[in-house]
Homo-oligomer: A and B are copies of this chain.
Amino acid sequence: MAQVPADLKVCIFDVFGTVVDWRGSLIQDLPGLGKKYGMDTDWTSFADDWRGLYQPQMHRVRKGELPWTNIDELHKEAFEMLLTKRGLKHPGEEGSWEFTRLWHKLRPWPDSVEGIGMMKKKYVVATLSNGNVALLINMAKNGGIPWDHCFSGETFKHYKPDPESYLGVVKTMYLQPHQVMLCAAHNGDLKAAQKCGLSTGFVLRPKEHGPNQKTDLKADGEWNAVGDSMVELAKKLGC
């Protein structure tokens, strides 16, 4: 395995799935909000379907089919697509935003805050998420995640895995690519970052997609560090 560079300065983190449990949080929160608006459906599959529209929605922006559009707007639009598909009553404009803002309240995995706090003592710790800046800041406030800063696809007007997102952080911080490490639970994200010269840290999240997860069940690249939890990853980084 590649080593952790001695002059590593900044750890940036994928957020959905890596730091927070989007699926568990949505499954917990959706039924209550559904009840408030008189909407009844299988909210577990709704959560999966909503997340399922995440990549296709961003892809419309990447292809230029949509101008730059942030994740809140894409989440809201995807939510409304699902309402139509499932024949559910529209909860009104403000209701639609209330559902969309559930993504601002996703809870961290039990080890995330501790592990990131350990890394914060030695490195700059920041997001590099496709979530927009307001979402990331609000989520950190709700969940007590001690970021030094929130970088987002919105910052660079490019969604991961576009190279402009990873290299945007490198350039903004006046560093060499290897001095920035992407920490993520997704091998594909790490591969794209590595291609740009960044260091890479894999954290295992075998329940991100629920009990029957098929993907990202192990590190399948030459990453600089690998951990079964964020705390273990922090230890691998000398924290």
A residues apposed to B, CB below 8 Å? 72, 124, 126, 132-134, 137-138, 140-141, 147-150, 154-155, 172-174
Contacts and interface: CB of A to CB of B under 8 A. Distances in A.
Nearest to A171: B134
A141 B148 contact: yes
Contact of A133 (B134, B137, B172): B172
Given A72-B174, A155-B155, A174-B72, A140 B134 contact: no
A25 to B, nearest CB: 20
B133 A149 contact: yes
11 contacts: A72-B174, A124-B137, A124-B138, A133-B149, A133-B173, A134-B174, A137-B173, A147-B148, A147-B149, A149-B150, A154-B172
- Give the number of times this chain occurs in the complex, counting copies: 2
A132 B133 CA distance: 17
Contacts of A173: 133-134, 137
Nearest to A123: B141
Contact of A124 (B141, B148, B174): B141
A122 to B, nearest CB: 10
Contacts of A141: 124, 148
Contacts of A154: 172
A151 to B, nearest CB: 9
Contacts of A137: 124, 126, 148-149, 173
In the complex, the 7 A-B pairs of residues with the closest C-beta atoms, listed nearest first: A134-B173, A134-B174, A133-B172, A149-B150, A137-B149, A137-B148, A124-B137
A174 B172 CA distance: 24
Nearest to A120: B141
A175 to B, nearest CB: 8
Given A124-B141, A154-B172, 16 more contacts: A124-B137, A124-B138, A126-B137, A132-B172, A133-B149, A133-B172, A133-B173, A134-B172, A134-B174, A137-B148, A140-B148, A141-B148, A147-B148, A147-B149, A149-B149, A149-B150
Contacts of A140: 148
Contacts of A148: 137, 140-141, 147
A154 B124 CA distance: 19
